[in-house]
Structure formats: C-alpha cells, structure tokens
Structure 1
Amino acid sequence: MTIGLVGPAVSAVLGKPEGVEIPVAVALAESVANLPAGPGWWYEPKFDGLRLVMHRTQETVKCQAPSGRTITGAWVDLAVAGQAALRPGTVLDGEAVVWTDGRLDPSAAQVRGNSTPRRASALAAEYPAYYAVWDCLAVDGVDLRDRPYVERRAALLEVLADVPPPIQPVPATDDVDVALVWFEQLRRQGIGGVVAKRATSPYRPARVWQKVRHSVTMDAEVVGYVGPAVQPQRVAVRLPDGRSVLSQAVIAQVAAEMARHITESGPGRRARTDAGEAYTTTGQGLMVEVVAGTARHSTVAVICVR
C-alpha cells in the first residue's frame, strides 16, 4: 500500500507558467460495476458532498461549482482557510463535505451549498465544512493538468504538507485489496464508494476516471422541470442512453439549486418525455446524479446536484 508522496518532486514537474483558465472544465468519473485492477491503477475513497474547485489568487480565494458558477459565498469558511494556508496560484479540485456524528452528511452539504449569503455564516457554524482534495491542477500559477495523475498527486501532497484541517488530501493507494477494504469498511462512515484513476492519466474535462458506488448511480442532464420555477416538484432528466424521464419528488435542497438554474436560464417551452409526460424545458449545463436502479422505470431518483 502506498498512500504518501509519489512520483517526482514538484520542482521536477513544473514547467513554463501558463495559468489555469477559470472557470475550470472539470474531470468526471464513469460509474462501473467493479473496480478495475492491475498495474497502473490508483484508488481513492469517494467522499460525498458537493464538488468544489478552489483557486487561490494573489488577492483572495474563489470557489467554483462543476457548472462554472461561483459559489464562494456559500463556503466562506473554506475560502478563508484556503486564503490563509494556500500559496497564490494554487488550483485544487475536491469535495466540500460535512460530518455529522462521525458520518458524512450529504444532505447537510447540500444545505450549505444552497445557502444564501445571508444564511452562510450561520450555517457554517452549524455545519462546519471540510475540503477533501483529490487533485492539484496548478501550483504557483503553473498548469499541471497535462501531467500524469501520480505527478499531480505528488504536487497535491507537497502543497498541502503543512496545511491543517479543514483542507486535507484524500487518501490514495495503488493496492486494489486496500481499496476493497475501504469500499466495505468505510461505508459506515458515509463514504460512497471508491474512485479509480490511471497513474498516467492527465486531467481532462471528460469521464477519465471510474467509480464504484454502494448504490449504482449515473450522471444525467436536467432538461426541464414540473411545477413552479421557484420550487420545482419534479425534474426531467436525459439519461446516458438518450431517454428522457421524470424524477421522483425533488428534495428541498435539490429544488433550491434547480430554481437558481431555471432563473438563470430564462423561460422555457413545453415538452414531453419519451413516456409522454409534460414538462417545461430549462437551459443546459445542470447535471444531477441519479440512482441507476430506477432507470428502467419511467421515473428516477435524484441523489444530488453535480
């Protein structure tokens, strides 16, 4: 098992400073039934919260959602920690998570992520956040996305070597047996599964990783909604196979995120799913994670906004 520093030192990785354009187009993971095994695979526990890209500029810290939307106001405690501890020109990718009674609490993270600036401070005290970091996209303004995973991992551990919580790197191993132990034993702590990454893989805005979850899920694009725009009751999603279906009832935290997206995308038009159910269209760019086991039916269960 190898969890510590891997690959060459950061000084050997850095090249000509080119910067990372913000917002970052994020890398994604494909859901698979079984963990890949063999030489060249690395594994990380899957922390369930809200995806967050953190960019430490010369003056401040900016937090970005996968959609590109700025979400710094909802995660002020993490931004303050990043400004105090990170070097300017650092760009990190990871998950904003909340722990409740020793378990990851995705619902609390959704509440934090959907908070208004007015509520953000109070919620930060009630649900303090942690930043579980799994990738380093830039160091000192140098773009590392073309470098292999193991070199970016080395950069990540060096950058965070003296950084205290709430910002911490996720564990990683190249031992599939250790990853399987994580998959089974960390479930009670709310860890959602394991993510597998090729040692040689660069960081790309595509499905370059693989993930195994305790409940098999898939990513789907939101194409519309049912109910009022300010509080959608169900959402229409397009599944990877091209089918459009409606969700089950949308939980309040997801509905708040939908409402913001609908407001930003403007008025939609009437449309119907493949089963003939009516909905109002909305703009592109909003992804959700749905339970794959329900995909054979006319509705799906939305887990969270991605």
Structure 2
Amino acid sequence: MSHMIEVTNLRKAFGALQAVKQIDFYVEEGSLFAFLGPNGAGKSTTIDMISTQLKQDEGEVMINGFRLGQEDEQIRSSIGIVFQDSLLDPLLTVEENLYVRGSFYKLGRQELKAAIKVAAETANVTEFLNRPYGKLSGGQRRRADIARALINTPKVLFLDEPTTGLDPQTRKSVWEMILKLKREQGMTVFLTTHYMEEAVQADYVTIIDHGQVLAKGTPLELKKRYALDYLKITPARADELTELLQNEGIPFDKIDDMFRIKLDSTVDAIPIIDKCKGNITNIEVVNGTMDDVFINLTGAEVRS
C-alpha cells in the first residue's frame, strides 16, 4: 500500500515555544488514520502545516505525491477539511452554502452542479438541502460540513473531532458515513478525536504530546505495548484467596471485596481462575483500552 501522506522532520516554533519538534509519520492510502494527543500537544499546528494553512520552519511533507511549499495548489485540490468549527453560513440553505464553497474550486457551472449533487448524496444531506444551515440539528450540520469538504472529490479527508458535541446515535450515524467513504471510495481519512472508542476503529494511530511523537501503531499493537489486562475476582472467602495468591507469588490489588490482578495477556487468567475455583462469587477479565494507552503515554486523560 502506498503512502498518501509522508511527514519527515516537521518542525514549527512560535518564538520560544516549540509547538512541533521534528516529527515523522506517514499515512497509507485508503486508510483511516487517527492522530491523537491532549490539548496543546501540537495536533492542530501539524494539521495546519500539512494542509497548507501554515508554513513549516523545517521538514518535508508529501501529500498525494505533491510536495508542501512547492505544489500547494495541487495539495489543496487533493484534500478536504472538516473543521471542528463550521465555515458555513447559518442564514444560507445547505445548497446555497455548497454552491458558495464550491465556487472556490473554479469549476464550470455544470461541473459544479454535478459535484454538489454527488457530495450531497454521499453525505446524505439531500433531504434538507433547502433548509437554512442554522436551522439544522447538530448531526445534520456535521453531515453538511462533510458534504462541503467532498465537493472537490478529495483524496484525503481531514476530520477535526467530527463528532464532538453530538449525541451517541448521531455520532454513530456520522461514523457510518465516514467508514462508507473509506470503504466505497477508498478515501484516506485523517482523524483527530478525543473519543478513544472512535480511535479503536482506525487502521493506524499516532499519538503526540509536547510536539513530539510518543507512539505509533495499530490500536491492537498500542494496547499490547502500553495497556494492561486485568483479572477481577470477588471471592467467597477473602482470606483464603489472599493466602493463595501470596503463596503463588501473584501480585494483586484489593478494592473492597474485589481482588484485581494484572495480566500480561488475557489467557494468563486461565491458570489463576483454575487455582481459585470453588472460591469465586464473581469474576471478570478486563482488556486494556485505548484510554489506558493514552493515559499511560501522556500522563493525562484525553481532554475535549
């Protein structure tokens, strides 16, 4: 699989503040890539640079085969961006907004009309095309924002926390559309999110903090490296379980009546459970999560 985005030694400073410190990563064509980090980590600065909105101090960026700083018009033609704060006019209808934004691409009248039709159908906004953007629900506005970003049929779609503030059902609907774009159009999706359950759906994840890359990998690889599984046991006889675990040299934490045992992998729970059978009233094996990965790497909970 070829690289749609390649970032090498990218750096940006604002006076004495080193916002981005020579980071490297790549995004494979047709993949869903999650770019994670707490507030102030350098995510927005990085995205602003690779999307041609901000000039880098050092480093090279290639998008769709075009070099940042030399072929910026071609890069802009290759990407679509959905910002966390919408760019659309609340007084105009969705269709009017799409025509206004689409006019920036210098398409012919019929070509623009066809592009808007495809974008509207793809983002599932046709049913409210003639409604003012400001009168739409949060989920409808987000779909309209995505339609706006699809007018130029981008190779790469940047999504900056696209489901922030949406209710769970609407978030699910937006995500179904995002995954459909990736699956049916082979679109490369570059995502930032503070919902770790969304990051789990990514093909590849890069986590940054203080302007530096902390970790890269698939969600499964990152959970194996930076999160732990746990076995939780509530025994019938706590003293008996305490003695057994101590005799076996198995470390544990005790929270009220529940014993928590760290596992290198979930299968390690099997022999422990076997030793404890007959003294168990409740049992649970808990897998490490992307939240655990994030906290273990950055020392902070993910913040909206």
Pick the TM interval, shorter chain.
under 0.3
Highest CA radius of gyration, 1 or 2?
2
TM-score, normalised via structure 2 length? 0.25
With normalisation by structure 1, the TM-score equals 0.25
Flag the structure with higher strand content. 1
More helix by share: 2
